[in-house]
A and B are shown apart, each in its own frame.
Chain A
């Protein structure tokens, strides 16, 4: 049981990290479909830096930086040159997959540097809950801290209000004197940092190695989680963990040998997560209030 919960946590963490970043981006009225691309670049940068320097911390920082560089590219294209956000996001994913393969060519087949789990004497030794609560790696705790921080900043601070205003109606925000483009740049960069961090989690903690396409579609799942969680950080977390749980339980049930079709079990995480999030987002008015009205729309300051 303990082992299963630990596995669920590792499966959910990258989804949570990437989805939180995209949530902020979308809250500011921008749709960045390039999560997968930013993630995979984060993964290769994280792996490379950690392998080259031997320091996991440098790996994590490089992962974040890698994701941000990709995000900056997206921001320049969509905010300064007003390119189509959907097309640019898709291109960013393709670019990320290609570029990461190129950067990572020499990393293939190298055993990576692993981000170790923390160990607190006494606390970690508590049976069952000890390792689950006090024996994770730092990025797991970081993902929870990030969830609370995002929620707090978005809904309890002036900064969050500005981000939401920009996403809700950029003309009004502009009329009030806020720099819409600058806010969106910042949000996009934050999203890139989170995606990069999620990627670094894959190549440093989840499976400490570099292989091409190692994100294997996790960026897309994160994207879907944001929408189905109706842009609420806490619901994103529920979604990510629900997805992780059903995902791992599917594998668990298979190994028990009950003979349930594996294709069904593989699709269950998607079905269950979507169903659950649709149900908790059942309140239509609330969903309407939460969904950023300006999503995907370009903004040109009329000066």
Chain B
């Protein structure tokens, strides 16, 4: 519920100042709406890191502002509208649940450019952008299967949206490529961010025989539990080795900076167009933290997989893939279509959990 309007207030003051100043240079204004706190050390933290890179790159040619902790739904519509009114040239809305509000506001402000992260609906002035996190999840799946002694990993997840499901599947496929009998235990915490509940889920998973944890939630709590119990875990969204120096094997890092810089540049040049951007390891939007706490050969194999993903020789979702219900998708040797991955609503074979219809 807490909102920091100070950023907007400051921006409004600055905007009015620049009107009065005769030699005001036309600044491009980039605004960001965050679902979590910039201090979550995960998802929002990395988006804000991207915002800071924009500031650093353009210097005083650009002005940025942000609001954090904006709940998905009606709250976000208010926040986005306020930004659109306050003279933002481009607005980045950084959570899946902002999709409809973003489209709604975009309709009312046709001159403002909107960029919605992880969504799938575009409009004349709404672009979507996402990252192929599943590439990273495939890599950590392979690592997990090699490092795990019990052959069981625990996976803490937020909401059953395609991106999260694709992540689970990629992890499982990566693990199965090493150990076909590998097991993944799944706990849905129905929240992006609840350190206490994530910690509880971590403890429960470890008590059921998992010795490696991975997560699609935003706090560093699970990695702390793994550290305390002498088990392993993967960092989420940013390098979390501080929380588990002996536990973190590696982390999937989101680097939004280069993309944000490109898009702000496009606004400045007047070349901004609607698109659906989906970058991965090749473009540098998804990268991995240093491999630690694992044997050298495991790290080498992981680096090889990363190189393969970058040059296109390895694709996490290469057909044929057997679904949980036994049906097979994909042609042999060919990757699934992007649309199939972006709209994924099924599990691969071997996952114990069931998806609700």
Measured CB to CB, the closest approach of chain B to A32, in angstroms, equals: 18
- Whether A211 touches B219, Cβ cut-off 8 Å, given contacts A218-B196, A251-B187, A251-B201, is yes
Contact present for B356 and A261 (CB under 8 Å) = yes
B residues less than 8 Å from A114 (CB atoms) = 228
Interface centre among B185, B189, B196 (most CB of A within 10 A): B196
Measured CB to CB, the closest approach of chain B to A203, in angstroms, equals: 9
- Whether A97 touches B354, Cβ cut-off 8 Å, given contacts A7-B204, A211-B195, is no
Check if B292 is an interface residue, CB within 8 A of chain A: no
Contact present for B193 and A254 (CB under 8 Å) = no
A residues less than 8 Å from B353 (CB atoms) = 254, 257, 259
User: A98–B2 Cα gap in the complex (Å)?
Assistant: 6
Residues in B194-228 with C-beta less than 8 Å from chain A:
194-201, 203-208, 210, 219-221, 224, 228
Check if B304 is an interface residue, CB within 8 A of chain A: no
Chain B window 40-56, contacts with chain A (Cβ cutoff 8 Å), 1 for yes, 0 for no: 11000100000000000
Check if B39 is an interface residue, CB within 8 A of chain A: yes
User: A230–B278 Cα gap in the complex (Å)?
Assistant: 55
Residues in B116-173 with C-beta less than 8 Å from chain A:
154
Interface centre among B36, B228, B353 (most CB of A within 10 A): B353
- Whether A213 touches B69, Cβ cut-off 8 Å, given contacts A97-B2, A255-B208, A266-B190, is yes
Of B2, B188, B194, B224, which one neighbours A94 at CB under 8 angstroms? Answer: B2
Residues in A238-272 with C-beta less than 8 Å from chain B:
247-248, 251-252, 254-257, 259, 261-263, 266
User: A138–B224 Cα gap in the complex (Å)?
Assistant: 20
- Whether A209 touches B2, Cβ cut-off 8 Å, given contacts A4-B204, A101-B37, A259-B353, is no
User: A158–B41 Cα gap in the complex (Å)?
Assistant: 50
Check if A214 is an interface residue, CB within 8 A of chain B: yes
Residues in A138-162 with C-beta less than 8 Å from chain B:
none
Measured CB to CB, the closest approach of chain B to A11, in angstroms, equals: 6
Measured CB to CB, the closest approach of chain A to B144, in angstroms, equals: 16
Instruction: Please tell me which stretch of A76-84, A103-111, A128-136 contacts chain B, meaning at least 4 of its Cβ atoms lie within 8 angstroms of it.
Output: A103-111
Contact present for A7 and B190 (CB under 8 Å) = no
Residues in A182-208 with C-beta less than 8 Å from chain B:
202, 206-208
Contact present for B187 and A254 (CB under 8 Å) = yes
Check if A212 is an interface residue, CB within 8 A of chain B: yes
Check if B33 is an interface residue, CB within 8 A of chain A: no
Contact present for B224 and A209 (CB under 8 Å) = yes
Q: Which B residue's beta carbon lies closest to that of A202?
A: B196
User: A6–B206 Cα gap in the complex (Å)?
Assistant: 13
Chain B window 1-41, contacts with chain A (Cβ cutoff 8 Å), 1 for yes, 0 for no: 11010000000000000000000000000000000110111
Measured CB to CB, the closest approach of chain A to B192, in angstroms, equals: 11
Interface centre among A97, A209, A263 (most CB of B within 10 A): A209
User: A36–B251 Cα gap in the complex (Å)?
Assistant: 32
Contact present for A11 and B200 (CB under 8 Å) = yes
User: A252–B154 Cα gap in the complex (Å)?
Assistant: 12
Interface centre among B1, B200, B208 (most CB of A within 10 A): B200
Q: How large is the interface on B (under 10, 10 to 19, 20 to 34, 35 or more residues)?
A: 35 or more
A residues less than 8 Å from B45 (CB atoms) = 108-109
B residues less than 8 Å from A202 (CB atoms) = 196
Contact present for A101 and B185 (CB under 8 Å) = no
Measured CB to CB, the closest approach of chain A to B177, in angstroms, equals: 22
A residues less than 8 Å from B243 (CB atoms) = 111, 209
Contact present for B39 and A216 (CB under 8 Å) = no
Check if A122 is an interface residue, CB within 8 A of chain B: no
Contact present for A212 and B242 (CB under 8 Å) = no
Check if A176 is an interface residue, CB within 8 A of chain B: no
Contact present for B200 and A263 (CB under 8 Å) = no
Q: Which B residue's beta carbon lies closest to that of A4?
A: B207
Contact present for A109 and B2 (CB under 8 Å) = no
Contact present for A213 and B204 (CB under 8 Å) = no
Of A209, A247, A256, A257, which one neighbours B195 at CB under 8 angstroms? Answer: A209
Contact present for B208 and A216 (CB under 8 Å) = no
User: A98–B228 Cα gap in the complex (Å)?
Assistant: 30
Q: Which B residue's beta carbon lies closest to that of A218?
A: B196
Contact present for A254 and B186 (CB under 8 Å) = yes
User: A137–B258 Cα gap in the complex (Å)?
Assistant: 46
B residues less than 8 Å from A218 (CB atoms) = 196
User: A214–B219 Cα gap in the complex (Å)?
Assistant: 10
Q: Which residues of A contact B (CB under 8 A)?
A: 3-4, 6-7, 10-11, 14, 94, 97-98, 101, 104-105, 108-111, 114, 202, 206-209, 211-214, 216, 218, 247-248, 251-252, 254-257, 259, 261-263, 266
Q: Which residues of B contact A (CB under 8 A)?
A: 1-2, 4, 36-37, 39-41, 45, 69, 154, 185-191, 193-201, 203-208, 210, 219-221, 224, 228, 242-243, 352-354, 356
Question: Can you list 29 A-B contacts with CB-CB less than 8 angstroms, sorted by A residue number?
Answer: A3-B207, A7-B207, A98-B4, A101-B37, A105-B39, A108-B40, A108-B45, A111-B224, A111-B242, A111-B243, A202-B196, A206-B195, A209-B224, A211-B39, A211-B40, A211-B195, A211-B220, A212-B37, A212-B69, A216-B191, A218-B196, A252-B204, A252-B207, A252-B208, A254-B188, A255-B185, A257-B354, A262-B188, A263-B190
Which 7 pairs across A and B sit closest by C-beta, in order of nearness? Answer: A257-B352, A259-B354, A108-B39, A262-B188, A212-B37, A3-B207, A216-B194
Known A216-B195, A252-B208, A254-B188; further 6 A-B contacts with Cβ < 8 A: A207-B219, A208-B224, A209-B220, A211-B40, A213-B193, A216-B197
